[in-house]
Amino acid sequence: MKTAVLLLAYGGPNSLADIPAYLLDIRGGRETPQSLIDEISHRYEAIGGSSPLLRITQSAAAKLQERIGLPVYVGMRHWSPWIKDVVAQMAADGVRQAVVICMAPHYSSLSIGAYRRRLDEALAQLERPFEVHFVESWHTQPEYIDAVAANVRLALERFAPEERDDAFVVFTAHSLPAFILERGEPYDRQLRETASLLAQKLNLPAERWSFSYQSAANTGVPWLGPQIEEFIVELAQRGEKNVIVAPIGFIADHVEVLYDIDIGVQAIACEHGVRVERPPMLNDSPAMVSILAALVEEALQATPFGQR
């Protein structure tokens, strides 16, 4: 029984020319206004013209494969390599069972649930679908908490010693439409649990850290808040001068980090006299590979095929 691992990530355009098709997939085939294409193109142009997400995820997969001795595949939700194509390749390669991990730690039906739906659709197209163990969330995994805390410490070290105790830490994650709270989904709760565990690990006093959302879309419905841009202004008005913005809903560099934080938030912070530092993302670091290896091991121990 050939066992494999499948890592799923959001996907991103390989070039500026890919952006219209990329947005078309994200929008479920609905026509994209030219103004939105122009705005997204501007953001990608500002970070180099493409997304580094696929390269980072494939590098992490290669390192994980070497670490655990199982084949590791990568599928993207909104760009190539498409989940359906990768699943078909896995079946052709003789995979009969797979541990599936989304490269995002917190569950929502709009995020992780969407990955699961794409996976199930792909499996349904196979003549002989293989078994899967789908890891729905890993927001409290000890290795993940330790790794993010270590990176926050690196950001703290960029401040002078006398400034570190006064630095305010804001943990962030991608906002989603607020109606998920009415559905009772765990997304907001899981994020705040992660933030609380990190604050404990970092020995942050309750008054020296908070949680905020980022990257809300303009869809005409309320999104989860507060938004980091507004919160930075609030912190400035409270007299904060040194702030760490630490994304916890993201594990890799991509546009929501490289543009929304590194360019957008930085511009607002500079305008209000606030210094913002961002910790490095986990990307394909040894820590990230250890996190994934632990998730695979836990999944195999919890499934019948892990003992075959």
Q: 8 and 33 share a domain?
A: yes
pLDDT over 90 percentage in the chain = 96
Q: 181 and 147 share a domain?
A: yes
Q: How far apart are CA 290 and CA 66, in angstroms?
A: 12
Q: 150 and 269 share a domain?
A: yes
CATH no. for residue 260?
A: 3.40.50.1400
Over residues 81-96, the pLDDT tens digits come to: 999 999 999 999 999 9
Q: 14 and 131 share a domain?
A: yes
Q: 156 and 106 share a domain?
A: no
Cα 99 off chain centre by: 19
Q: For residue 76, which of 29, 7, 27 has the smallest C-alpha distance?
A: 7
User: Band of the pLDDT at 220, cuts 50, 70, 90?
Assistant: confident
Q: 82 and 164 share a domain?
A: no
Which residues on neighbouring strands pair with residue 244, listed in sequence order?
A: 169, 277
Q: 34 and 134 share a domain?
A: yes
Q: 211 and 99 share a domain?
A: no
Q: 111 and 175 share a domain?
A: no
- H helices of the chain, where? 19-26, 34-46, 53-68, 83-92, 112-124, 142-156, 161-164, 179-182, 187-201, 228-237, 255-258, 266-271, 286-302
What is the count of structural domains for the chain?
2
Q: 54 and 156 share a domain?
A: no
Q: For residue 149, which of 19, 274, 20, 279 has the smallest C-alpha distance?
A: 279
Domain holding 235, by residue range, is: 142-277
Interior/surface letters 270-305, b for 16+ CB within 10 angstroms, e for the rest: eeeebbbbbbebbbbbebbbbbbbebbebbbeebeb
What does pLDDT average to over the chain?
Answer: 96
Q: 8 and 131 share a domain?
A: yes
Over residues 160-207, the pLDDT tens digits come to: 999 998 999 999 999 999 999 999 999 999 999 999 999 999 999 999
Q: What is the mean pLDDT of residues 122-137?
A: 97
Say whether pLDDT at 215 is over 80.
yes
- The reported pLDDT for the residue numbered 160 is 95
Say whether pLDDT at 111 is over 80.
yes
Helix/strand number for the chain, H first, E second: 13, 8
Q: 20 and 146 share a domain?
A: no
User: Band of the pLDDT at 248, cuts 50, 70, 90?
Assistant: very high
